[in-house]
């Protein structure tokens, strides 16, 4: 039994870790960015009395003449090709609604998944009626953003073997801006587990499966028990990622790997304490800096 009640006054207060370079200029809502003349108004800005002003707190971004202000923290804005993790919320006519932590629920069409029986099968009424057998409310999926509708909602597809329904594992949620965009979002860590870093801020951690998964990836396997070693690693990775996200550090394979190495001196449950989180985030930042130099 491990019970610890600490006093708030005794706790060492750590703010967000000090940035290494000069911080960019941050605009607050209503603050003037520049004169309108010659510039185009983008997201996060409005025009008033001939000047562009910010509507959100964030940093300015320019693409040629277009001025946008991107907020420091926002819900996920999808881009085509992003790897995302989502949870099915609803079944409607020929499609699933998927929660992606975006402004609107995304859509997964029945035609954008691989059904048992191969690529070129026609989807008939039977498939439509048995949609709940493939994916039902609450199921987690990994998918790719296929297109963006006019209203900003996303359309997903799972037409690749690497995407599919997720089985046993742990989901953690972080801010979507903390996920570093990279070529590969599927990582097999050397410690024997796989993680999927969804661009929308959802991260899935599961044991690396040795045997090839069935081709469709819509089957459930619950009999298999994850062994205790993998379980410990999964929990360690979970706690480490939460520590990194608490201190607003970018999450990608290298940072996770470094943080994992730094966390070796703690037991998994010790990683829940604020001190351990700070220590790991700090050490990881140092190592990342050294690597950059």
Partner 1 sequence: MSLVSLNEGEKVYIIHGVEENFRCDGRSRQDYRPLELEMDIVSNANGSARLRLANSDILVCVKVEIDTPLPETPNDGKIEYFVDCSANATPTFEGRGGEQLAAELSRFLSLAHCPVFNLSKLCIVSGQSCWKLFVDVLILECGGNLFDAVSLAAKAALCNTSLPNIVGTYEDGKNIDLQISDDPFDTKPLDARDLPVLVSLCKIGNNYVADPTIEEEICGAGCIVISVTPKGKVSAVLKKGAGSFMPDTLNEIIMSGSQIGVLLNKALEETITKDMSSNVCKQRFGFLK
Q: Which residues bind partner 1 (CB under 8 A)?
A: 1-11, 13, 87, 137-140, 166-171, 220, 222, 225-226, 228, 231-232, 234-236, 238-239, 267-269, 271-274
Of the CA atoms within 13 Å of residue 123, those in its CB half-sphere come to 15
Minimum CB–partner distance for residue 243 and partner 1 (Å) = 12
Of the CA atoms within 13 Å of residue 112, those in its CB half-sphere come to 20
Give the residue with the Cβ less far from partner 1, 8 or 120: 8
Distance, in Å, from the CA atom of 283 to the CA atom of 286, rounded to the nearest integer, reads: 5
User: Quick one: how far is CA 182 from the chain centroid?
Assistant: 12
SS3 277: helix
Minimum CB–partner distance for residue 270 and partner 1 (Å) = 8
Give the residue with the Cβ less far from partner 1, 231 or 287: 231
Minimum CB–partner distance for residue 140 and partner 1 (Å) = 5
Give the residue with the Cβ less far from partner 1, 60 or 262: 262
Distance, in Å, from the CA atom of 266 to the CA atom of 252, rounded to the nearest integer, reads: 21
Minimum CB–partner distance for residue 225 and partner 1 (Å) = 5
Q: Where is 261: in which H helix or E strand?
A: helix 253-262
Give the residue with the Cβ less far from partner 1, 184 or 224: 224
Minimum CB–partner distance for residue 45 and partner 1 (Å) = 29
Angle at 114 between CA 79 and CA 150, to 5 degrees: 30
The encoded tokens of residue 144 equal 């790719």
* Backbone Cα Rg of the chain: 22
Give the residue with the Cβ less far from partner 1, 233 or 284: 233
């Amino acid at each position: 039994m491990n019970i610890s009640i600490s006093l708030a006054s005794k706790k060492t207060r750590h703010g967000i870790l000090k940035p290494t370079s000069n911080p960019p200029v941050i605009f607050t809502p209503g603050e003037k960015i520049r004169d309108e003349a010659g510039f185009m108004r983008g997201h996060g800005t409005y025009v008033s009395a001939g000047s562009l002003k910010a509507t959100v707190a964030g940093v300015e971004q320019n693409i040629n003449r277009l001025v946008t202000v991107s907020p420091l923290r926002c819900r996920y804005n999808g881009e085509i090709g992003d790897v995302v993790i989502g949870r099915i919320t609803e079944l409607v006519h020929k499609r699933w609604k998927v929660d992606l932590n975006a402004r609107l629920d995304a859509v997964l069409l029945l035609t954008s998944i691989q059904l048992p029986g191969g690529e070129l099968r026609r989807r008939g009424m039977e498939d439509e009626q048995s949609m709940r057998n493939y994916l039902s409310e609450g199921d987690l999926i990994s998918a790719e953003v296929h297109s963006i509708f006019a209203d900003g909602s996303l359309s997903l597809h799972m037409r690749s073997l690497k995407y599919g329904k997720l089985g046993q594992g742990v989901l953690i949620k972080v801010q979507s801006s903390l996920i570093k965009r990279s070529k590969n979002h599927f990582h097999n860590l050397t410690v024997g587990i796989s993680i999927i870093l969804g661009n929308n801020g959802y991260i899935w951690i599961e044991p690396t499966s040795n045997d090839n998964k069935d081709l469709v990836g819509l089957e459930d396997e619950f009999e298999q028990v994850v062994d205790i070693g993998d379980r410990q690693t999964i929990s360690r990775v979970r706690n480490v990622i939460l520590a990194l996200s608490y201190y607003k550090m970018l999450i990608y394979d290298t940072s996770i790997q470094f943080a994992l190495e730094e966390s070796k001196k703690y037991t998994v449950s010790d990683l829940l304490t604020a001190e351990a989180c700070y220590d790991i985030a700090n050490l990881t930042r140092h190592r990342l800096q050294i690597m950059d130099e």
